[in-house]
Structure 1
Amino acid sequence: MKHVSIDDIFHIKSVSAPKVIKEENSATYYVTHLDEKENKYVTHLHEANAYGLKQLTFDNERVSQVAHSNDGNLTLFVAKGDNDKPQIFLLRRTGGEREQLTNETDGVSNPMFSNDGTSVFYHVNVKEENKDDDKTNDKKQPVHITNMKYKSDGLPGPFGYKEESHQVVKKIDIESREVETVLSGSADYTLLSELTDGFIYTTNESDDADFNFTNTLYVKEKAVALQNKSVYDVEVSEDEKHALLLTSDFNYKNAAHLTIEILDLETFKLTDVTGKLDRPAGSAVVQDVQQSEETKVFSWISNREFVFLLSEDGAVNLYKGNVDAEVQPLLQSEHNIFGMDAYDDKVYLTISTPISPSELYVFDLNTNQLTQLTEENSEYIESRKIVTPESIRFGSFDDEEIHGWFMKPADFKENEKYPLVVNIHGGPHAFYAHTFFHEMQVLAGLGYAVLFTNPRGSHSYSQKFVDHVRGDYGNTDYKDIMASVDYALEVYDFIDEDKLGVTGGSYGGFMTNWIVGHTNRFKAAVTQRSISNWISFRGVSDIGYYFTDWQIQAGLNDIEKLWHHSPLKYVDNVETPLLILHSEYDFRCPIEQAEQFYIELKYRKKTAEFVRFPDADHNLSRTGAPHLRVKRLEYMTEWFNKYL
């Protein structure tokens, strides 16, 4: 039986984003694979119904943002249109070819059917006129910037500039194709739901847009007081008496739990659902094979009851609640539910486990029975020697319980010694979970033991646990990670303590840089999309000026604190051979962070090498070009092979 290998990314399929077709007792879902020859991702739409499974789209493309009309007769999705921009396409269940519904110059996003199914709402960005634009020739022109949020990771090109624009909501009639703008203004408008006599929507209107990080919820033109919270999603009960809100409390900045609240649409009274559970709604799972995620956090199953997803202790589970805010677990296990939709007595779920990349399931609310519907990855799983991670819990330096996973090498034999690789997640407010992780399986297949944990700062635990690291990077979190190494060495006597490796990306890259500057216990390290200098990061990252405020809790008026938490300060202490991997177009952790660390290491004659990935952004390891994802893992594993 073959070990999991690097090029297995071309053999693993991702089953994701179930979407119920009401009245049809069925659901659609995506199946995504990586096309090695074309070097791209391909996502097809499938349907599971009473007669079995069938594929609905066949073009060599990515489809997304599927929606179904209430009567189930029409389906829409987003794909590249005639102008190579994302446009809305329509499928009629009566048959026929798909129809391109929109032809917006810069594409569309977030479409939804009107309640009567005769039209489709969608979002577009309307650019502001730039007085410096010279439209009479094709020469490159200066970019005139007036705001602080002027770039964003993931946007094309070497600079990631965001053109100054406002998001508006349009409506297109399906038959006449007439288009009208229904929500617009001097801010971004996001339509969340249509009511019988109005809309529920949000705007980010503010007198100080550079420092505005919350939105305002409107119900039929009336603002709802949310006390310094933002709303990310809304679902209205069929009788339009209640709405489920997905919110976060800005008092904790980006460390806040996502919470579910119930809004009474008559009195505007808010009732907490999940805040009292002290666990976050939805998911912030770190993984590398689950593609085309469009996670729905909650769904009404009647006018009084709903189901929702909750992250708890390294898992994402299914719960049920009601309008009285009573909640109960429905499906708890060592799994990651990363897709959900429900109607009446059926809940459709896409689930990953540590030994299964993803499949579609249905949960019967009458019998509480879970049934697997697809076997997209069964042949792959049966043909590979997949290692089952062992869930571990241990007391850190101060006895705080830390949760994580340990994997033995794929060909583990008693009485032999093995090297260990410690893998640190990003965020820091994300979390490792009971989910399939290709990178970990590759390392185990190459003969490494693998350790990955959720130190303080990680989600799926208490709000206090998540918030703990803010203002204190490199202290308790570092001690938690080192305590996990001590625990592994104590419990697993086959680990060779002279052959320890460490790697991580983003915040995990920061922590890798921090670790090699504070201990020489590791004999090899690979830092990815990392941070080395908070002083420069503040001004060059697309989130820098407010991220350092929120996370390091310091600005340029406190250079000493920014420098104290910067790995670059400790570069003289580094003795561990370090490989630096970074994307050219990473605007979240810009490549200058890697450049600084590399130059100072080489200046001091340290062992370091630097690999730059072209045309790649911060998400290289998850959604980057397939051939670059392969090269990233090849560089990493070759480095560990060389030094461990």
Structure 2
Amino acid sequence: MGPTDIQKLLGVGRPALSSRGEFAVFSVSRPDLPANRTVGQLWRIDLPEGAPRRLTRGILDTAPVLSPDDMRLAFLRPDARGRSQVFVVAALGGEPVQATDAPLGVGEVVWTGDGRSLVYTARVPENGRYGTVEGLDAAAEAPRRITGIRWNANGLGYLADRPAQIFVIAAPEIDSEPFYEPAPVVRDDAEAPSRTVIGATPRALTEGDLSWSTLAVSGEEVLAVPDRIEDDRRDLRTPIIAHHLDGSGRREVLATAANLWVTGLAVADDGAVAALAAHVGSAGTDFVAPGTALHVIAEGETRALTDPETIDLGEVGSHITPIGDDFLVQDRRRGRVRLLRVARDGSAETVIGGDREVLGHAASGSVVVAAVATPDSFGELVLAGPGEPRVLTAFGAAAAATGIVEPRELTVRGRDDYPVHGWVARPRGDGPFPVILQIHGGPYASYGIHLFDETQVLIDAGYAVVYCNPRGSAGYGRAHGRAIRQAMGTLDHHDVIDFLDGALESEPALDPSRLGIMGGSYGGYLTAWIIAHDHRFRGAIVERGFLEPTSFQGTSDIGSFFGDEYVGVDPELIAAQSPMAVVGQVRTPTLVMHAEADHRCPLEQATRYYSALTRAGVPSEMLIFPGENHELTRSGQPRHRVERFDAVTRWWARHLPIDATDRTGPETSGSDASRSGATEAEGADDLDDPKDHQ
């Protein structure tokens, strides 16, 4: 596939399923170049034999939630100012009715049990900021007084002056009279009519400086997880608080003393609360390879149902679906994500497995549907059942038609006999092909089997691609993930190099004399580290990298704890793991790429590294994308994503040129088999703020 083929990557969101399993609703989205944004709508399919059909026609409709009676559908849609608002539409389709008018948009929404109201989160701006005073430019706002250890978040910006609160609002009638734009008033003594957008006034359940997320309705209460900006030191421990829907009070369901970091909530039919949560130690910051498990909270007791050493329920869009007395959860393992059904006694069975990555799921009675990525599709809806799941959609056909190359799975024994698992993908033909070593972000993330545009674009340009999940990655047990804690650039460095050497030895079509290396986020870190110690590469691309741990502590939105846990606090230990400490050893021509509004790995990480390279005389360039954050390669403006691909392929054409002999044989765009990708959210990157995944 070529760079512009990202428009053919149709993603399927978490589905909603009717209470009797008769139909499902789900979102489908994709990048659109002419619009220069992500676009998408809601789709409906009647089960088990119906055909999928488009239900809405908004620019970007997402997050469908069915009412308890299955008659209405609440979802998120941008308003005229681009703020996500809740809309409600008939489950059979029709004209949606706007339900909210939140000044900064809505985060998440759920129905109350009686279907009369909607509960949602929305950020409340401090007066005088974010357009609350008409005509007041952001540059003219009052100064911000920072007293806590956190002040911003990637993809959002400042935090303390717009906490996320919980609101309740009456659900609009879908057949009600629409609101009309009032005409100008001519007579001076006439009272000008006000413009009306929504039919009800929201009622706030919370206020103050706490932010709330992870909503789950239980009877007359809504459960949520608070986030307080700490005064002195980071604390990932999160309680669960139940708020009475009439505003009469709240109670604590789970205390911070449990030492759990909660990232997902659901309520079973019998009232038991299920949570995805990880123990973060007595200090509250031990998040390296977090042991996320399924917990049940009932009658004041909290009990773990799964073993985090063998079942990994972290990130990858993980959530909980109650099904009878059991729960559905997503377990990532060796580049796959399977759907498990976990009973109250802790026993588990696989509902959907094989060469798939489950992205989201829903259940009703015995009916289970899931959004999945497979080796031949970026996203489909499937119906689980005996044997193989039945695929209900064909959204991958357009991307498959571009020519997707099938990767070869490989395990290499490293220098200490440790097995390193990964893939090799190359153009069709005999080669020999120049080789690019790709390194994923995280570190606690993983490459997987779904289509990865990064790899496929390089193959289309004539390059073989080698990529693996070294120690530090997810999906191979916690010991694998924790192996590089305060030892970055050691075992992980050895694993990726040993895997590269093993791939070169096992594949005659790979040219060991023509090698490149690239990676983003933690992959940018390891790329920068490796080129300071291994000079065989003809070129390197260091993207959005974690490059200077010392300054990261005071600039990154997760700097208050990420570096402390991964590289430690001792200056000598930090220097022993810092790419900036060894940048003087680099001789490889390097392209440094970064996003201007990246709060995860701030721009200064790139500028300092680039400046050090140029001062040392290393042939280098820096490419900075305006208006983008850490998620540029995943959810950035489509034009920027294409321009980035163009820059990448131009860089490799200069430093790792394709010979005429590389193009022998069939078209290099290759087969219509499988494609690979990174599950770092690649949405699941430890260099992504853990709070972002709640």
Match of 1:145 in 2: 146
Match of 1:255 in 2: 289
TM-score under structure 1 normalisation? 0.90
Aligned counterpart in structure 1 of residue 200 of structure 2, from 177, 189, 197:
177
Q: Does 1:386 align with 2:404?
A: yes
| Deviation (angstroms), 1:189 | 3.2
Contact 2:27 2:63 in 1 (8 A): no
Match of 1:198 in 2: 221
| Residue range with higher mean Cα deviation, 167-176 or 177-186 | 177-186
Match of 1:269 in 2: 301
**CA–CA separation in structure 1 for the residues paired with 2:535 and 2:81:** 54
DSSP-derived class of the 2:384 partner? strand
| Residue range with higher mean Cα deviation, 395-404 or 268-277 | 268-277
**CA–CA separation in structure 2 for the residues paired with 1:216 and 1:601:** 46
Aligned counterpart in structure 2 of residue 523 of structure 1, from 524, 527, 538:
538
**CA–CA separation in structure 2 for the residues paired with 1:536 and 1:271:** 40
DSSP-derived class of the 2:562 partner? helix
| Deviation (angstroms), 1:316 | 0.1
Match of 2:115 in 1: 117
Tell me the alpha carbon deviations over residues 14-35 of structure 1, each in whole angstroms, 9 at most, x when there is no partner: 2222111223511111111222
**CA–CA separation in structure 2 for the residues paired with 1:12 and 1:98:** 27
Tell me the alpha carbon deviations over residues 501-553 of structure 1, each in whole angstroms, 9 at most, x when there is no partner: 10000010011111111110111111111132222222122222321111111
**CA–CA separation in structure 2 for the residues paired with 1:470 and 1:603:** 32
| Deviation (angstroms), 1:297 | 2.6
Match of 1:533 in 2: 548
% identical aligned pairs:
27
Tell me the alpha carbon deviations over residues 550-602 of structure 1, each in whole angstroms, 9 at most, x when there is no partner: 11111xxx333222222122222211111111111111111111111212211
Aligned counterpart in structure 2 of residue 631 of structure 1, from 643, 647, 655:
643
DSSP-derived class of the 1:339 partner? strand
DSSP-derived class of the 1:17 partner? coil
DSSP-derived class of the 2:646 partner? helix
Aligned counterpart in structure 2 of residue 412 of structure 1, from 429, 437, 442:
429
Q: Does 1:13 align with 2:10?
A: yes
Tell me the alpha carbon deviations over residues 39-69 of structure 1, each in whole angstroms, 9 at most, x when there is no partner: 111011001113322111113x112222111
Unaligned runs of 5+ in 2: 173-198, 243-249, 657-694
Aligned counterpart in structure 2 of residue 35 of structure 1, from 17, 28, 32:
32
| Deviation (angstroms), 1:129 | 5.8
Contact 2:290 2:314 in 1 (8 A): no
**CA–CA separation in structure 1 for the residues paired with 2:333 and 2:374:** 15
Aligned counterpart in structure 2 of residue 164 of structure 1, from 153, 161, 180:
161
DSSP-derived class of the 2:560 partner? helix
| Deviation (angstroms), 1:197 | 4.3
| Deviation (angstroms), 1:259 | 1.3
Write the mapping of 1:345-356 to structure 2, written as runs, cut at 5 A.
Answer: 345-356=366-377
Q: Does 1:338 align with 2:359?
A: yes
Q: Does 1:372 align with 2:391?
A: yes
Match of 2:181 in 1: none
Write the mapping of 1:217-256 to structure 2, written as runs, cut at 5 A.
Answer: 217-219=240-242, 221-225=251-255, 227-240=258-271, 242-251=272-281, 252-256=286-290
Q: Does 1:445 align with 2:457?
A: no
| Residue range with higher mean Cα deviation, 90-99 or 614-623 | 90-99
**CA–CA separation in structure 1 for the residues paired with 2:204 and 2:68:** 23
Taking only aligned residues, the RMSD between alpha carbons, in angstroms, comes to 2.3
**CA–CA separation in structure 1 for the residues paired with 2:3 and 2:132:** 48
Contact 1:15 1:360 in 2 (8 A): yes
**CA–CA separation in structure 1 for the residues paired with 2:547 and 2:209:** 38
* Distance verdict in 2 for CA 1:243–1:204, change over 3 Å: same
Unaligned runs of 5+ in 1: 285-294
**CA–CA separation in structure 2 for the residues paired with 1:356 and 1:640:** 27
**CA–CA separation in structure 1 for the residues paired with 2:554 and 2:638:** 31
| Deviation (angstroms), 1:233 | 1.8
**CA–CA separation in structure 1 for the residues paired with 2:471 and 2:497:** 12
DSSP-derived class of the 2:542 partner? strand
| Deviation (angstroms), 1:351 | 1.5
Match of 2:239 in 1: 216
Match of 1:288 in 2: none
| Deviation (angstroms), 1:433 | 0.8
| Deviation (angstroms), 1:207 | 6.9
Tell me the alpha carbon deviations over residues 311-333 of structure 1, each in whole angstroms, 9 at most, x when there is no partner: 11221001112122211223321
* Distance verdict in 2 for CA 1:309–1:346, change over 3 Å: same
Q: Does 1:612 align with 2:624?
A: yes
DSSP-derived class of the 1:521 partner? coil
* Structure of higher RCO (CA pairs closer than 8 Å, 6+ residues apart): 2
Contact 1:127 1:163 in 2 (8 A): no
**CA–CA separation in structure 2 for the residues paired with 1:378 and 1:29:** 18
TM-score under structure 2 normalisation? 0.84
DSSP-derived class of the 1:337 partner? strand
* Distance verdict in 2 for CA 1:336–1:95, change over 3 Å: closer
| Deviation (angstroms), 1:454 | 0.4
1:236 partner letter: V
**CA–CA separation in structure 2 for the residues paired with 1:114 and 1:640:** 54
Match of 1:287 in 2: none
**CA–CA separation in structure 1 for the residues paired with 2:455 and 2:35:** 26
Aligned counterpart in structure 1 of residue 69 of structure 2, from 68, 71, 76:
71
* Distance verdict in 2 for CA 1:354–1:248, change over 3 Å: same
DSSP-derived class of the 1:617 partner? coil
DSSP-derived class of the 2:564 partner? helix
Contact 2:149 2:230 in 1 (8 A): no
Match of 1:299 in 2: 321
* Distance verdict in 2 for CA 1:91–1:463, change over 3 Å: same
1:27 partner letter: A
DSSP-derived class of the 1:631 partner? helix
DSSP-derived class of the 1:545 partner? coil
Contact 1:499 1:523 in 2 (8 A): yes
**CA–CA separation in structure 1 for the residues paired with 2:644 and 2:366:** 45
Contact 1:355 1:387 in 2 (8 A): no
Aligned counterpart in structure 1 of residue 499 of structure 2, from 484, 500, 515:
484
**CA–CA separation in structure 1 for the residues paired with 2:444 and 2:203:** 40
Match of 1:101 in 2: 99
Contact 2:420 2:470 in 1 (8 A): yes
* Distance verdict in 2 for CA 1:206–1:397, change over 3 Å: same
| Deviation (angstroms), 1:128 | 4.7
**CA–CA separation in structure 2 for the residues paired with 1:617 and 1:129:** 26
Contact 1:296 1:340 in 2 (8 A): no
Q: Does 1:498 align with 2:513?
A: yes
**CA–CA separation in structure 2 for the residues paired with 1:601 and 1:453:** 27
1:54 partner letter: R
Contact 2:583 2:613 in 1 (8 A): yes
* Distance verdict in 2 for CA 1:233–1:136, change over 3 Å: closer
DSSP-derived class of the 1:211 partner? coil
Tell me the alpha carbon deviations over residues 477-513 of structure 1, each in whole angstroms, 9 at most, x when there is no partner: 1111111111112211332211011000001001111
Aligned counterpart in structure 1 of residue 572 of structure 2, from 546, 560, 580:
560
1:333 partner letter: G
1:248 partner letter: A
**CA–CA separation in structure 1 for the residues paired with 2:236 and 2:639:** 36
* Distance verdict in 2 for CA 1:368–1:178, change over 3 Å: farther
Q: Does 1:22 align with 2:39?
A: no
DSSP-derived class of the 2:265 partner? strand
Contact 1:309 1:318 in 2 (8 A): yes
1:145 partner letter: I
DSSP-derived class of the 2:14 partner? strand
